[in-house]
Every structure is written in structure tokens, then in C-alpha cells.
Amino acid sequence: MTLIKSISGIRGTIGGKVGENLTPLDVVKFSAAYGKWIKTQRRKDNYKVVVGRDARISGKMVQSLVMQTLSGMGIHVVDLELSTTPTVEVAVTMEHADGGIILTASHNPKQWNALKLLNKDGEFLNAEEGEQILKFVEEEDFDFAEVNDLGKISFHNAYIDLHIEEVLKLNLVEVDRIKNSKFKVVVDAVNSSGGISIPPLLEMLGVEVVKLYCEPTGEFPHNPEPLAKNLQDLSKLVKEEHADLGIAVDPDVDRLALVDEKGEMFGEEYTLVSVADYVLSRKKGATVSNLSSSRALRDVTEKHGCEYFASAVGEVNVVAKMKEVKAVIGGEGNGGVIYPESHYGRDSLVGVALFLSLLAEREIKVSELRQTYTSYFMAKEKIELTPDLDVDKVLEAIAKTYQTEDITTIDGVKIDFKENWVHLRKSNTEPIIRIYTEAKSQDEADNLAKRFIFELRELSS
């Protein structure tokens, strides 16, 4: 059983002892700390926070605790009930709210849940803001409202529809072209909130939808992370239905994975690459992804005569870099598309609409589209270290060894070789170094990872 407190929120397994798992008391303390933080941001008479959740089994219980705690602090709550992460983000700005909370453990199994925290712009908190909330949690110095000042809770169940309407209004979403293409799509929503958001979007685009695991029961039929090994049922059904493609999302709908008409994975890394290819063909500008994302985004960006930038790992870091360089598209290699014309958050609804626009415009099959991009292969490993080891010194030694190469040190150490790269970064929660590599063959990526595992062990011994 686990409880992890970090600058991005609190997550853990349901049940067990306070302080060791995500128990009701932990949820209340963290919600109160967030409520206190909200009140430090702006002095005003009335505060409002939007709250939504994915379909996991513990969601109703956790959401009730969160909303009643905020009410107890005199903060009004807009209850979206079952929703998606990007929908909550959009709702925060539409409601002119002071913040938002999404109750989801993303791709983690059903025993997990989490509180993800948003600011008044519907964006994730930065490191400084997250640290402030953690400090409030430790202090437990909360000031609750008197009986006449309790916050009101209002239910609003139309925001998924409003979110879909906003997506359809985007200039680069070719609604008529998509309708004329008469696509047939299979959707695997892992029995969570993707089942009430992705199919309605597709139907508005005139797409024939075949639903797979689209009942939002929270009983995940497979590991909810949208990776090839977990999407075999989707691949099989795409072939059986002679569909044009398959779509898979994680429980809170901010990661988008695609399957081609042959039932083969398009590749999570290539979700962002293909969408960026389409956006850049219409509007020139910079692109951003994190240091552990594929080089393929840089390739397609330079093909369009534009400039690519890398950020530290984490959505908040990607967004900060996108704003800094005025990027027209960005995201993360895990299938997360961030399109500023909509909002600064990973959004599978936006990703689906832009991808189908690309497919309709080029009039080619998904497998043919994939062949237009350079194929890269990744290896993701980790090395466990003794708790007393100075990980920063180990990474500094690696950087010194490879100082003549193209090195980035904003988040661990990334070394860009001519034909491949390696990214080494320490975990914030355990004594390990994560090792990511990418090359033009799986063997090359695996061997590069093994090489750096050996070098790290030599330096740490």
C-alpha cells in the first residue's frame, strides 16, 4: 500500500492506515491545504473550485470528501461528477473559477486514486505552488467557515458537451472533411470517462463508432495504461470490424494511443508527432516536448522549417516552455497533445479531432501515414541505488565524461549522440536513476541502455 505526496498532488492506494495510504483523513487534509492555498492567491468574498473525477470505483467517495471539505472552508464547488482531466481544465476557465481538482490516478490500476490540482487558468500547479500546499498539509493549521458561510455545491453535467463544442470550433478541425471521409473507428475507453466523451465527439464528426469497454463502471478490463501489450482486444476488434483505426485513452482521457487499420500500434510517441505535422502544415511555429520524448518531433518540426525545444519532464514544464517560445503545438511522448488554441493541457479530444483532420486531408490509411515518419525505438530501464548515494554527483560525473557531446542538464543528463540519445534522471520518490534511450533499432536502444547501466554502476560502486 502506498501514499505519495509531491508537488503535483497526492496519490496512493485506497484503504489502510492514515499517512501510509490514501485514506479519507489524508484526502481531507490535502483538500483543506489546497483550499487554504486558493485563499492565499486572491483576496475576495467568494471562491469557486471545479471538481471532477474519472470512473474508478473510489471516485465517488473521494470526490464527496473533497467537495465537502472545500464547502467547509467556505469555498463554492462546481461538481462535474464523472468527467475527464481536460474537461475539468476547460471548465475552470469557463466558470472563471479560482482552481480545479481532478480525482484520477491516470493510468494506475483501480486500487489507486489521486488529487490533481489546478490553478485559476486550469493548468497544473508549478513546483513552488505545490511546495506551499505540502507545507500547509504538514502544518495542519486550517481555518474553517462558520455555519452561515459554508460553500455551496452546484452540479453541472454539461461540460463534456461544452468541451466537445469547443473542440469542433477549432480552426484546424476539418469537420466537413472528416464527415465526408466516413471513418469507422473502434474506441477502447477502459470503462472510464473516455466512454462518455470520445464516442460523442466522434459521432458529432460523422464517424461510425464501435465501442469497446466504454461503460464507465471503473472496472478496468485490462491494465489501463494504453500500451501495446494492454490493447490486444482493441487491435483484434479493429481488424474484425475492418475499421479505419482504433483509439485508446487512459482513464482520465489525457493520453491518446492509436491503432492502424491492420491492428498494429501507431506508437504513442507518434500521436504528438502526427498532430504536430498537421498543425505545422497550416501554421508555422515552435514545438515543445520533454527530454524523454522521441526525436521524431524534432525531425517533423525541422521538416516544416520550424524550431523544436525540449523541456524538463512533467506537463507543467512542457507548458512553461511552450509559453516561453510561443509554441503552436507541444506535449509529451506518452500520447499527450497540448494545443494552445484550445488550452494548455494534454487533451485526447483535441488530439482525436486534429488526427482525423490530418487523415481526412491526406486521404491515406493510418499505416501509410505512419510510414512517412522516421521510425525510432526506445528502451526504458532503471537502476536501483543505495539510499545514501549522492545521485547528483553520479550524474555530474556522467556529464563530465561526455562533455564533448551535445548535453542538456535541465532535468538530469541527456546526451544527444548523432544517431541516438540517452536520458538519465533521478526519481523524486525512490533511490533510482531512470534510463531512457532512443535509436533507429530496438537492439541499438537496448544496448545503449545496458551500456549506461554498466557505467552508472561503475560510478556508484
Given this model, what pLDDT does residue 429 score? Answer: 57
For Cα atoms 64, 66, 72, give the angle at the middle one, nearest 5 degrees. Answer: 100
The residue annotated as part of the active site, out of 106, 181, 342, 357, is 106
3-157 has which fold? Alpha-D-Glucose-1,6-Bisphosphate; Chain A, domain 3 (3.40.120)
pLDDT of 316 reads: 94
For residues 428 and 411, give the distance between their C-alpha atoms in angstroms, rounded to a whole number: 11
Do the domains spanning 3-157 and 377-460 agree at the CATH topology level?
no
And the C-alpha cell for 357? 483532420
Neighbours of 189 (CB within 10 A): 27
User: At which residue does the C-alpha cell 488554441 appear?
Assistant: 341
CA 300, CA 298: separation in Å to the nearest integer?
Answer: 6
- Average pLDDT per 10 consecutive residues for the chain, totaling 461 residues: 76 92 96 97 93 98 98 98 98 98 94 96 94 94 96 97 98 98 98 98 98 97 93 98 98 97 96 98 98 96 97 94 98 95 98 98 97 95 81 91 95 95 83 91 96 89 73
146 DSSP 8-state letter: P
**51 SS3 class:** strand
Nearest Cα to Cα of residue 105 among 60, 55, 64: 55
H helix count then E strand count, the chain: 15, 20
CATH superfamily of 162-370: Alpha-D-Glucose-1,6-Bisphosphate, subunit A, domain 3 (3.40.120.10)
Neighbours of 135 (CB within 10 A): 12
Distance CA 6, CA 429 (A): 8
* pLDDT number for residue 8: 73
Where does 283-416 show beta strands of DSSP type E?
A: 287-290, 308-311, 329-332, 336-338, 377-384, 406-408, 413-416
How far apart CA 253 and CA 197 sit, in angstroms, is 9
Hey, where are the domains in the chain?
A: 3-157, 162-370, 377-460
Whether the CB-CB separation of 117 and 34 falls below 8 Å is answered with yes
Q: What is the DSSP string of 358-404?
A: HHHHHT--HHHHHTTS---EEEEEEEE--TTS-HHHHHHHHHHHTTT
- Buried b or exposed e, range 57-70, using 16+ CB within 10 angstroms: ebbeebbebbbbbb
Report residue 391 CA to chain centroid gap.
27
Identify the residue whose cell numbers are 506537463: 315
Whether 106 sits among the annotated catalytic residues: the reply is yes
DSSP summary character for residue 152: P
Instruction: Give the pTM.
Output: 0.95
Closest CA to 170 of 214, 194, 201, 207: 201
Classify domain 377-460 by CATH architecture: 2-Layer Sandwich (3.30)
With H, G, I as helix, E, B as strand and everything else as coil, classify residue 328: coil
In this predicted structure, what is the pLDDT of residue 430? Answer: 64
434-450 tens-digit pLDDT: 999 999 999 999 999 99
Q: Are 272 and 220 in contact (CB under 8 A)?
A: no
For residues 288 and 333, give the distance between their C-alpha atoms in angstroms, rounded to a whole number: 11
**In the block, residue with C-alpha cell 464517424:** 207
pLDDT of the residue at 99: 98
Query: How high is the pLDDT of residue 42?
Result: 87
Q: Could you say which DSSP state residue 148 is in? A: G
Separation of CA 258 from chain center: 15
